């Protein structure tokens, strides 16, 4: 059961604002000012009163499950707690009521915050320069790939360097981003821990390789132990290393991408730095580079001279603009405040506990559902439900049954290299008691799977809707009222 659409409650004469508008301005006659056929009388929006709107969206919210509702161990998404003070302060009018085209001297507060944030990120990652422009992880990757392209163009090697290496365990966004800007993808085999198969890397290496895109810890949640060797192989070949920051939460203050040999990184502020996921965005994904790539960063760039901070577009060799003026500034404010709250000790503690929590869950659960890889995991662990096939139970059924127990399911079927994957990322913001409840629920579900699999196959049982028909959705497309 869903909530009735507002258009179905629409009534002529209802409105959520004061109508007619109070106005002291003379009316412009639309028919005299514009061609008649432009003037519009109907649109197709509802007419509803304020209390109806409030109830509608409050009811919709009640159908949602967020981090504030309960445990949300969605692997590779880092669903950590979103601090409320950061929400409040990011909504200060001093920030929200500024316009991106205000002259620089009137937004020195914003520019200071951004400049300082860039410096903090450089310290945390071991990189030299940052841009805060990219709007999301995929946009960060796209920006990074554009920088790779511009770098080789400037070296006169663009014609030759056409390939990007991507481990087969990588998230699909990596190959999609590299292909978006015209690179060819070469898949590198993965080890049984999801890492780069160094022997295969050497095999596919040649002078056409522009860069490799890596996530570390990799998508199986395991640290890339051969990272220094990989970096050496790449750099000796004149190629670059790109760091997908999806899993940086495991490493904050423990080891820095810049020290591992990465040339370009993107960070997901909505994962590692606690800004809310918003139901699927907006995020923000600053991109950091080593000094020799600074000149390729997109514009505008932030500079300081004579105690004035400016946002400037004159940067020779820049890849250019990648979005309208501004950044996802409000997200940046929240991440900045998070870092100021945590400090060095806090960030180190966050990564330590994130890793401890994941290992705790893995050790407790692996006797019941085997781990997908035979290695120490970092901030997330992958279990494989392949042994449940005889009961007709798949990973997704376990996930759906978890909803009945009050938990958000883990990530399913990723990474692709692990069959029937259940990827669990608890983050550091969960208590031992919450994790113990989750572990108990998983054990019960394992028991149910063997004794009464239909409990899983028909789950979830207590939600307003269950197992919507995705085939029908795709065949009989209905995407608007």
Partner 1 sequence: MSEVKKGYIYTETDEWVKVDGNEVLIGITDYAQHHLGDIVFVEITAEGKTIKKGDVLTTIESVKSANDVFSPVSGKVLAMNTKLEEDSGLINKDPYNEGWIARIQLANPEELSTLMQDEDYHQYRKE
Partner 2 sequence: MRYIPITDQDIQDMLKETNLSSVESLFQSIPSSIRFKQDLALPMPLDEMELERHARQIASKNSTSQTHDTFIGEINYQHFIPSIVDTLSSNSAFYTAYTPYQPEVSQGTLEAIYQFQSYMTHLTGMDFSNASLYDGATAAAEALYMLTSSSRKKRAVLSSTLHPHVKEVIRTYAKMRNIEIEEIHSNDGTLAIHDAEDKFTEQTACFIVQIPNVFGLIEDLKPLYDKLSEKKIKLVVVILEPMLLGALMPYDPARVDIVCGEAQTFGIETCYGGPGLGFFTGKKELIRKIPGRIVGKTTDKEGREAYVMTLRAREQDIRREKATSNICTNHALNALRATIYLSTVGEDGLKAIARENINISHYAIDRIEKETPCQIPYKKPYFNEILVKIPTPHTHQEMIKKLYEKNILISKNNMGRFFPYLGESFVISFSEIHQISQIDNLILALKEVLS
Cβ closest to partner 2, residue 324 vs residue 390: 324
34 lines the binding site for partner 2 (CB under 8 A): yes
β-strand pairing of 129-131 with 287-289: antiparallel
38 lines the binding site for partner 2 (CB under 8 A): yes
Cβ closest to partner 1, residue 85 vs residue 473: 473
Cβ closest to partner 1, residue 17 vs residue 471: 471
CB of residue 473 to partner 1, shortest distance in Å: 8
Cβ closest to partner 2, residue 35 vs residue 156: 35
Interacting partner of 317 out of partner 2, partner 1, none (Cβ under 5 to 8 A depending on kind): none
Please tell me the distance from the alpha carbon of residue 363 to that of residue 367, in angstroms, as a whole number: 8
374 lines the binding site for partner 2 (CB under 8 A): no
- Within positions 400 to 419, which residues make up the interface with partner 2, using CB under 8 A? 400, 403, 408-409, 414
The binder of partner 2 chosen from 160, 162, 181, 437 (CB under 8 A) = 181
CB of residue 374 to partner 2, shortest distance in Å: 13
Catalog residues that contact partner 1 under the rule CB under 8 A: 470-471, 474-475
Phi, psi of 472, rounded to the nearest 5 degrees: -60, -40
The binder of partner 2 chosen from 253, 315, 391, 453 (CB under 8 A) = 253
190 lines the binding site for partner 2 (CB under 8 A): no
Cβ closest to partner 2, residue 32 vs residue 390: 32
237 lines the binding site for partner 2 (CB under 8 A): no
Tell me how crowded residue 441 is: count the other CB atoms within 10 A of its CB.
17
Cβ closest to partner 1, residue 151 vs residue 414: 414
β-strand pairing of 209-215 with 163-167: parallel
325: Cβ contacts below 8 Å, ≥ 6 apart? 100, 101, 300
473 lines the binding site for partner 2 (CB under 8 A): yes
Cα angle 176, 177, 181 (rounded to 5 degrees) comes to: 110
238 lines the binding site for partner 2 (CB under 8 A): no
Cβ closest to partner 1, residue 41 vs residue 470: 470
The binder of partner 2 chosen from 129, 178, 234, 265 (CB under 8 A) = 178
Cβ closest to partner 2, residue 205 vs residue 354: 354
CB of residue 54 to partner 2, shortest distance in Å: 6
437 lines the binding site for partner 2 (CB under 8 A): no
Exposure of 406 by Cβ count < 10 A (0-12 exposed, 13-18 middle, 19+ buried)? middle
413: Cβ contacts below 8 Å, ≥ 6 apart? 395, 396, 420, 421
Interacting partner of 352 out of partner 2, partner 1, none (Cβ under 5 to 8 A depending on kind): partner 2
* Token couple for 34: 């514009």
Please tell me the distance from the alpha carbon of residue 233 to that of residue 198, in angstroms, as a whole number: 9
446 lines the binding site for partner 2 (CB under 8 A): no
Cβ closest to partner 1, residue 139 vs residue 396: 396
219 lines the binding site for partner 2 (CB under 8 A): no
Collapsing DSSP to helix, strand or coil, 118 comes out as helix
> What count of residues does the chain have?
481
- Within positions 153 to 172, which residues make up the interface with partner 2, using CB under 8 A? 171-172
Within 332-387, strands assigned E span 381-384
The binder of partner 2 chosen from 75, 83, 167, 286 (CB under 8 A) = 83
Interacting partner of 169 out of partner 2, partner 1, none (Cβ under 5 to 8 A depending on kind): none
* Token couple for 341: 């709250």
Interacting partner of 176 out of partner 2, partner 1, none (Cβ under 5 to 8 A depending on kind): partner 2
- Within positions 307 to 346, which residues make up the interface with partner 2, using CB under 8 A? 319-331, 333, 337, 339-346
Please tell me the distance from the alpha carbon of residue 59 to that of residue 49, in angstroms, as a whole number: 16
Cβ closest to partner 1, residue 345 vs residue 470: 470
- Adjacent-strand bridge partners of 129: 289
C-beta of residue 134 within 8 angstroms of C-beta of residue 285:
yes
- Write the CA distances from 390 to 3, 240, 385, 441, integer angstroms: 39, 46, 11, 21
79 lines the binding site for partner 2 (CB under 8 A): yes
C-beta of residue 266 within 8 angstroms of C-beta of residue 244:
yes
DSSP one-letter code for 304: E
Tell me how crowded residue 304 is: count the other CB atoms within 10 A of its CB.
11
Cβ closest to partner 2, residue 159 vs residue 451: 159
C-beta of residue 136 within 8 angstroms of C-beta of residue 336:
no
DSSP one-letter code for 410: -
139 lines the binding site for partner 2 (CB under 8 A): yes
Interacting partner of 207 out of partner 1, partner 2, none (Cβ under 5 to 8 A depending on kind): none
CB of residue 199 to partner 2, shortest distance in Å: 19
* Token couple for 473: 């959705």
Tokens 């606690």 belong to 274
25 lines the binding site for partner 2 (CB under 8 A): yes
Please tell me the distance from the alpha carbon of residue 321 to that of residue 415, in angstroms, as a whole number: 33
221 lines the binding site for partner 2 (CB under 8 A): no
CB of residue 232 to partner 1, shortest distance in Å: 37
């Amino acid at each position: 059961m869903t909530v009735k659409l507002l258009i179905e409650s629409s009534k002529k004469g209802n409105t959520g604002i004061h109508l007619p508008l109070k106005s002291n301005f003379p009316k412009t006659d639309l028919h005299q000012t514009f061609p008649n056929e432009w003037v519009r009388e109907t649109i197709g929006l509802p007419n509803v009163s304020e209390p109806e709107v409030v109830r509608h969206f409050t009811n919709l919210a009640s159908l949602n499950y967020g981090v504030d509702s309960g445990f949300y161990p969605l692997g590779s998404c880092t669903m950590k707690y979103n601090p409320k003070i950061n929400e409040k302060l990011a909504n200060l009018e001093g920030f929200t009521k500024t316009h991106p085209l205000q002259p620089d001297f009137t937004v020195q507060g914003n520019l200071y915050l951004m400049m300082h944030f860039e410096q903090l990120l450089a310290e945390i990652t071991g990189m030299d320069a940052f841009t805060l422009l990219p709007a999301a992880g995929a946009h960060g990757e796209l920006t990074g790939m554009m920088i790779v392209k511009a770098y080789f163009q400037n070296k006169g090697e663009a014609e030759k360097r056409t390939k990007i290496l991507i481990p087969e365990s990588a998230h699909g966004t990596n190959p999609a981003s590299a292909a978006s800007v015209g690179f060819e993808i070469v898949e590198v085999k993965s080890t049984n821990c999801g890492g780069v198969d160094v022997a295969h890397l050497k095999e596919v290496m040649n002078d056409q390789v522009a860069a490799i895109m890596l996530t570390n810890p990799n998508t199986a949640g395991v640290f890339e132990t051969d990272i220094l060797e990989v970096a050496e192989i790449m750099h000796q070949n004149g190629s670059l290393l790109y760091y997908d920051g999806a899993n940086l939460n495991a490493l904050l203050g423990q080891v820095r991408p810049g020290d591992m040999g990465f040339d370009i990184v993107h960070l997901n502020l909505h994962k590692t730095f606690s800004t809310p996921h918003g139901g699927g965005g907006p995020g923000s994904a600053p991109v950091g580079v080593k000094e020799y790539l600074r000149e390729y960063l997109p514009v505008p760039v932030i500079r300081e001279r004579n105690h004035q901070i400016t946002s400037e577009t004159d940067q020779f060799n820049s890849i250019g603009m990648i979005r309208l003026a501004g950044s996802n500034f409000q997200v940046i404010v929240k991440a900045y405040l998070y870092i100021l709250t945590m400090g060095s000790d806090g960030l180190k503690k966050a990564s330590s506990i994130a890793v401890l929590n994941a290992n705790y869950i893995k050790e407790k659960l692996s006797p019941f559902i085997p781990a997908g890889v035979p290695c120490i995991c970092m901030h997330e662990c992958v279990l494989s439900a392949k042994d449940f096939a005889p009961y007709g139970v798949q990973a997704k059924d376990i996930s759906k049954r978890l909803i009945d127990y009050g938990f958000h399911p883990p990530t399913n079927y990723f990474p692709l290299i692990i069959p029937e994957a259940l990827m669990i990322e608890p983050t550091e913001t969960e208590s031992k008691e919450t994790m113990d409840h989750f572990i108990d629920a998983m054990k019960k579900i394992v028991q149910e799977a063997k004794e009464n699999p239909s409990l899983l196959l028909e789950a979830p049982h207590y939600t307003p809707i269950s197992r919507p028909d995705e085939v029908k959705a795709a065949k009989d497309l209905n995407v608007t009222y």
